[in-house]
Amino acid sequence: MFQPLLWYYNTAVNNDLSDIQKEFVRYLVRERCSASKAAENAGYAHPRQRGYELLRKPNIARAIRAEQQALLNGDLTSIAFGTLKDVMQNPKSPANAKVAASRAVLEAAGFFKRADEDTPLLEKDPLNMTAEELEQFVLESRAKLNVLVN
């Protein structure tokens, strides 16, 4: 089934590409084809050579990056957060996996400052917390999230 490029309607990148080049980018990124296969699927003659040549073009490289970024900001982010949620809620998940998933979600939500920022929002890393401290932190975090959501 044809899927339009994610960035097609909301960036100027698409103005630099022909329809066949857009198809090449779509096959390369969305369908995870090799450059040769993407060129073949897009309809190029001599796909092996054209795939190589297309990857070297700056406008194609920009379009590939834009499509990858759009995919990351869309479907893949939702899948990643769903996976993290599944790990955190699965009673069979090991404790260290739950803590790692929880930390990833909390970092994404901005509960921790990044390494390039001055001070952390927490006094203690969750990996170093006792079960009681972690439970208290989760309760407080849920309360904060409920205030933001509601």
Q: What is the pLDDT of residues 106-140, one digit of tens each?
A: 887 777 655 555 544 566 777 777 788 788 878 88
Neighbour-count burial for 45-61, b at 16+ CB within 10 Å, e otherwise: eebeebbeebeeeeebe
Please give the domain boundaries of the chain with CATH numbers for all domains: 13-73 (1.10.10.1400), 90-149 (no CATH)
d(CA 128, CA 66): 39
- Using only C-alpha atoms, the chain has a radius of gyration, in whole angstroms, of 22
Instruction: Say what the pTM is.
Output: 0.55
Residue type, 41: N
What is the full per-residue pLDDT of the chain (150 aa) written as tens digits? 445 555 444 455 566 799 999 999 999 998 989 999 999 999 999 999 999 999 999 999 999 998 888 888 877 888 888 899 999 999 999 998 988 888 888 887 777 655 555 544 566 777 777 788 788 878 887 777 766 665
